[in-house]
Structure 1
C-alpha cells in the first residue's frame, strides 16, 4: 500500500514525521511531494498511490484520472472544496476531511479578529469592547461552538442559528440562545461569526438584504469561505452604512477595492490563517494518517464527505 503526502505548503516537521510513523507502523510505504511548483509533478506522483493526504492542494478530475490505484483522499482540515467530489465519486474514491482538528485555532482567530476590529485595527483612537455585546454564531458546528464558548468567556450574550440543529437543548446546554432564522440572527447581533460551508445553497447567501438588517455598529467576521459572501452586496451596504465593519480570514476577490473605499472598517488577513497554528497543523496531519490506516485496516469511513 502506498500513501502520498502531497503538500505544496509542507506540514511542520513534527507533523510530517508523525504521519510517517503512523503510515510505516501500519506496514505501508509513504512517499512525499513537498513544495512542488507545477501540476505535472503532482500528476506524476499520484500515478501508483493508493491514498493521498493533502492540505490546500487541488485534487482535480485530471489528478484523479492520473491516479489509477487511488482509493482514498484525506484533506487535513475541515474544508474540502479543493477536491473534485464528483470525479472522485465516479471512481468510487473515498474523500474524507478531518473535522474538529483545526477548530480551536479558527475559533481563537475569530475572537481575535473581533477584538482587532473593535479596537480600530490597533490604530490610535477610541475603540469599543466586545464585553456585553451580542454575538451571533452562523452555523453551530465544531468551530461555532468554540466561538460561542469563548464569546461567553468575554461576557458576550451569544445567539446561534443552524438549520441542521433543531433541538433547542443543544444550544441551551451551552448557555446559547437559539434563533429561528438567519434574518433574526443578523438583525439581533452586534457581531456575527460565519462558519457555513460554501455550497450551492450558501454561496452569496450573505447578501445586501441580510447585511443591511444588522444593528448600528455591527461587525461581520468571516473565517469560513469567501464564496458565501455576496461581495457586490457587501460593498453596497458598507457604502450606505458607515457604521458597519467586515473582517475576514479569506480575502474577497474585490478586497483591494474594499480596502481603498472603506479603510479601517474592513480587514482581510494576508493569507488564510485560521488553521495556522502548530497545534492545528499537527492535529490535522496525524488525524489524516490515522484515518487512512483505519480505512484500509477496518473499513472505517466515518468522515467520508462523498456518498454513493
Structure 2
C-alpha cells in the first residue's frame, strides 16, 4: 500500500494507481498523526509534503516502509538519519519547481518597484495621483542573492534580463563556473552581499548556520531603503528584528512567502506591518510545477518500489 497524506495532483495520484498498487489518499491525514500511524501499519511507501514530520517515531509505525516520497524540494520535515537507520529510501524532485519560485521573486521585485496593487486601490477609491505611484526601475539596481542553487541561478538570469547587477554568496559556487561567468554574477562574502544589495533575495537552505541569518546585526549592514524577499525558509529571518527595520524605515519593504511558524498566527508580530507583504508559501505552487512535482515523485516512488 502507498499512503499519500497530503495533497498530490490528480495526475500523480492516477500514476500511482496505474501501477496496480493499492493507494490510500487523504490530503488531510497529516493532521491526525495517530490515524496516519495506523494507516502505515501495512504501507510500503509514504508520500508527504511539508506538513508531515517524518521521524523515528512515525517510521516505527510503518515496519514495511521502503520509501518516502517528498512532494517538494525542502527536507526540513524529513529526519534523514532516522530514514537511514530504518533502511527507508527517500525520493524528492530536486529543483523541479525552481522556475516557479524564480518567477515569484521577479513578481515580488516588480511589485516593490512599481506598486501596481497600491496604485489600483488608489484609483478604486477615487484617486488619480500619478506622481505618487510612478515607482522606479529595476534596471541598474543591485540584487543580492544568498544562495545560488537551482532557484538562485534562475533568479539571477531573470534579473540580468531586467538590467540588474547581481551579487551573490554561496560556499558551493566558484567564480569561474560557466553559469556564474555567463550571468556576470559577482561572488562575494555574505556581509558584502548585505552591504551591496538594494534588493536581497534569500535562497539558502535552513541549517544551524543560516537559522536567524537575517537579524538586527545583519539587517544593519543593508543600505537604508533596501528591500528583502524570502522564498527559502521562514526560520532564516528573525521576525521581530525585521519588523523593527521596516517600521524604522531602514528597510523600505519586504515580501515573505515563508514565515515561522506556518500558518502565521493571528497575533504574530509580522501581521499589521504596512510595508510588509506576506503570501501563504505559494512561490513553488504554480500549476505547472505541481503537475511536474506530483508526476516526478510518483515515478520515483514506484521506481524505488520496483513496480514502475
Superimposed CA distance per residue, residues 142-192 of structure 1 (whole angstroms, 9 cap, x where no aligned partner): 111111111112221122211111243244333132322001111111111
Give the SS at the match of 1:221. strand
From 288, 292, 295, the equivalent of 1:279 is 288
By how many angstroms is 1:117 displaced? 2.1
Task: Give the match for residue 278 of structure 2.
Answer: 268
1:166 is paired with a residue of what secondary structure?
Answer: coil
Deviation at 1:211, TM superposition (A): 1.6
TM-score, length basis structure 2: 0.85
Match of 1:6 in 2: 5
**1:110 aligned to 105, 108, 115, which one?**
105
Is it true that 1:54 corresponds to 2:66 in the alignment? no
Secondary structure of 1:128's aligned partner:
coil
Count of aligned pairs: 288
The residue correspondences of 1:24-103 to structure 2 (distance < 5 A) are 24=19, 28-36=21-29, 37-58=31-52, 59-103=54-98
1-side partners of 2:12 and 2:66: how far apart? 23
CA distance in 2, matches of 1:117, 1:259: 18
- Contact map agreement 1:19 1:285 (CA 8 A) in 2: no
Cα distance in 2, alignment partners of residues 174 and 20 from structure 1: 44
Question: What is the distance in 1 between the residues matched to 2:230 and 2:16?
Answer: 31
CA contact (8 A) 2:175 2:187 kept: no
Superposition TM-score, scaled by structure 1 size? 0.85
Deviation at 1:244, TM superposition (A): 2.9
Answer yes or no: is the 8 Å Cα contact 1:160–1:176 preserved in 2.
no
Structure 1 contact 259–267 (Cα < 8 Å) conserved: no
1:288 is aligned to 297
Change in 2 beyond 3 A, CA 1:257/1:120: farther
Shift of 1:243: 4.3
Helix, strand or coil at the partner of 1:220: strand
Task: Indicate if the aligned counterparts of 2:13 and 2:298 stay in contact, CA closer than 8 A.
Answer: no
Q: Find the aligned partners of 1:172 and 1:204 in 2 and give their Cα distance.
A: 27
Compared CA separation, residues 192 and 15, structure 1 to 2 (3 A): same
Three-state SS of the structure 2 residue aligned to 1:105 is helix
Q: Aligned with 1:213: secondary structure? A: coil
Change (3 A) 1:252 1:35: closer
> Who is 1:207 aligned against?
215
Q: Any unmatched runs of 5+ in structure 2?
A: 120-131
Alpha-carbon offset, residue 49 of structure 1: 1.3
- What 5-or-longer segments of structure 1 have no aligned partner? 299-308
> 2:15–2:299: 8 Å Cα contact kept in structure 1?
no
Distance in 1, matches of 2:9 and 2:40, equals: 22
Structure 1 runs, 4 residues or longer, greater than 4 Å off? 252-256
In 2, distance between residues paired with 1:45 and 1:128? 55
